Amino acid sequence: MTKTTREVCLGNVSRRDLFKVAAGAVGVAAIAGLAGSEALADNKMAKGAAQYQASPHNGQSCGKCANYIAASSTCKVVDGPVSANGWCSLYAQKG
Ligand code: SF4
């Protein structure tokens, strides 16, 4: 008896087994996606890389920046505490 292409390709693997493998792959991809999102949310630039300095620059300062979080003296994009009088190259004027 001649086997069809489908029978040759699937061998002894059942459709149920194939579904389990596919479902597992989708689950792994979903978990990897979530982990990636969390990593991006916490991924702040180091002060050195952002050229952070503890003093204002041309009238610009963290206190006037849209990224500054006054309640915690932190920044949305630069790691660690920052001063309201500090400045970095990622400065973004408040709207
Ligand atoms: S982006 Fe730079 S200037 Fe703005 S708050 Fe953060 S550290 Fe300060």
Query: Mind listing the pLDDT tens digit for each residue in 9-42?
Result: 455 555 555 345 444 444 444 444 444 444 444 6
CB atoms within 10 A of CB 68: 24
Query: Which residue's C-alpha comes closest to atom 6 of ligand 1?
Result: 75
Number of domains composing the chain: 2
Residues 6+ apart with CB under 8 A from 70: 63, 84
Question: Could you tell me if 32 and 2 lie in one domain?
Answer: yes
Question: Could you tell me if 33 and 54 lie in one domain?
Answer: no
Distances (CA, A) of 81 to 9, 22, 60, 61, 89: 59, 45, 18, 14, 16
Question: Could you tell me if 37 and 52 lie in one domain?
Answer: no
Question: Could you tell me if 38 and 52 lie in one domain?
Answer: no
DSSP code for 76: S
Question: Domain containing 7: what range?
Answer: 1-43
In this predicted model, which residue has the larger pLDDT, 34 or 85? 85
CB-ligand 1 contact for 47 (6 Å cutoff): no
The amino acid occupying position 77 is: V
CB-ligand 1 contact for 65 (6 Å cutoff): yes
Question: Could you tell me if 49 and 86 lie in one domain?
Answer: yes
CB-ligand 1 contact for 67 (6 Å cutoff): yes
For the chain, strand residue ranges (E) read 68-69, 74-75
Please give the model's pTM, rounded to 2 decimal places: 0.61
CA 47 to ligand 1 center in whole angstroms: 9
What is the number of residues in the chain? 95
CB-ligand 1 contact for 82 (6 Å cutoff): yes
